[in-house]
């Protein structure tokens, strides 16, 4: 480990969340399809672009998530960037709902992962690498296909709440 000699942390999980909440993000639903054909998806704001050549993106998944095992075994995933109108979809995909895909329109994309209808953008990936991220796993994806809409605004997440861009 590179930080073996670092001093012990002096802040609580709440402090950490509060400070990280200062970083405004978009909101995505990351999806995949399991070996038995089951569709899984999870709201995630840990999404980030990583590399242009090759085109790489990442998201981080909690090792304790119910859907972790399916994502761990999958060789592809899709990132669906939500619009300002899709707060309900973010709520569905971060809830205890077992039947998430029954409540949203979707179709299977080129890599086999479900694509949510009406998303602001979708990014279809094959898994490029996985890294240890403490209680999360960092999943790096090689982008294979993308789609975007230009007639909608993004959903934002800031300080633990949903937000939207201010009208200009």
Ligand X SMILES: Cc1cc2nc3c(=O)[nH]c(=O)nc-3n(C[C@H](O)[C@H](O)[C@H](O)COP(=O)(O)O)c2cc1C
Instruction: Report if residue 45 touches ligand X, rule: CB under 6 A.
Output: yes
Which of these ranges, 58-66, 111-119, 127-135, 145-153, lies near ligand X under the rule CB under 6 A? 58-66
Instruction: Report if residue 46 touches ligand X, rule: CB under 6 A.
Output: yes
- Which of 61, 89, 119, 127 touches ligand X (CB under 6 A)? 61
Nearer to ligand X, 10 or 129 (CB): 129
State the sign of the Cα–Cα–Cα–Cα dihedral 16, 51, 54, 31: positive
Return the CA Rg of the chain: 16
> Contact 89/104 with Cβ under 8 angstroms?
yes
Measured distance CA(126)–CA(142) in Å, rounded? 5
Window 91-110: contact mask with ligand X (x via CB under 6 A): ---x----------------
Measured distance CA(82)–CA(145) in Å, rounded? 17
Q: Tell which positions 128-147 bind ligand X, by CB under 6 A.
A: none
CB of 161 to ligand X, least distance (A): 9
Smallest Cα–Cα separation from 139: which of 88, 37, 65, 39?
65
Q: Tokens 């809409």 appear where? A: 149
* Residue numbers at the binding site for ligand X (CB under 6 A): 27, 42-46, 59-62, 65-67, 90, 94, 157
């Amino acid at each position: 480990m590179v930080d073996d000699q670092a001093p012990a942390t002096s802040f609580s999980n709440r402090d950490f969340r509060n400070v990280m909440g200062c970083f405004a993000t978009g909101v995505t639903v990351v999806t995949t399809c399991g070996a038995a054909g089951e569709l899984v998806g999870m709201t995630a704001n840990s999404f980030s672009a990583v590399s242009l050549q090759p085109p790489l993106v990442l998201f981080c998944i909690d090792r304790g998530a119910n859907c972790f095992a399916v994502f761990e075994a999958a060789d592809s995933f899709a990132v669906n960037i939500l619009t300002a109108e899709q707060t309900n979809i973010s709520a569905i995909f971060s809830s205890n709902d077992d039947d998430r895909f029954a409540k949203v329109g979707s179709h299977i994309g080129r890599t086999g992962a479900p694509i949510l209808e009406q998303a602001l953008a979708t990014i279809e990936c094959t898994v490029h690498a996985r890294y240890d991220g403490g209680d999360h796993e960092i999943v790096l994806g090689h982008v294979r296909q993308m789609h975007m809409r230009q007639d909608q605004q993004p959903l934002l997440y800031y300080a633990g709440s949903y937000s939207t861009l201010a009208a200009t």
